[in-house]
Amino acid sequence: MNSPKLIDPRLELILAARHFYQQGWMVGTAGNLSVRLPDDSFWITASGRSKGELELGDFVRIYADGTVEKPSPDVKPSAQTVIHQALYTLFPEARSCYHVHSVEANLVSRFVQGDTLPLPPFEMLKGLGIWQENPDCAMSIFANHSQVSCIADEIKERFTTIPPQLSALLNRDHGVTIWAPSAKTARNYIELVEYIFRYMVAARGTGFCRAGEERE
């Protein structure tokens, strides 16, 4: 019997990026997606590529020893590659890492002054691995820096000391990043957190806040 044909993991990223682009979460060239391979290298979207029109040549492969494999000399890896590297190092079970830029993610990142965002106790948090009834759950927030390595260093420092409740983090004014055990799960995580963010923005707009949410 012949072995099943292996599917290029970049195809899953292309489909996810197109979906996120259509949702308005990866407009223009914003955002980045990666998938980790069995040898611990990973494919990541190249810098400056439209996420609604990705092709197989729009990815860069990053190896565990730092070697970079590019389809052509003019292709550069995403500026946030160091964040993906940090998350893969911190969470060996992670096989995909997605970062998108939605309006709602940026708005909720300003709902609090501190470094955690309380989330409403939705049952759908089960989809993110939170199984308690009426959970007291919060998402970590990190300041955005033009020097992306500074963000990666802060993520490593904080998560090494205090493990996150969720496989997700916010960059203030710069979107959400999630990591997951598969590309399919990563897509689900993005959809779930974005739904929660939309709810929080709508609730703030109507003057309704659930427990744990701050009023100005």
Residue positions forming the annotated binding site: 99, 101
User: What is the edge-to-edge ordering of all strands in the sheet holding 59-62?
Assistant: 68-69, 59-62, 42-45, 32-36, 96-100, 176-180, 168-171, 137-142, 116-119
Provide Rg for the chain, Cα atoms: 17
* Burial classification of residue 153, based on how many CB atoms lie within 10 Å of its CB (0-12 exposed, 13-18 middle, 19 or more buried): middle
Nearest to 167 by CA among 132, 136, 192: 192
Binding-site annotation: residue ranges for Zn(2+): 99, 101
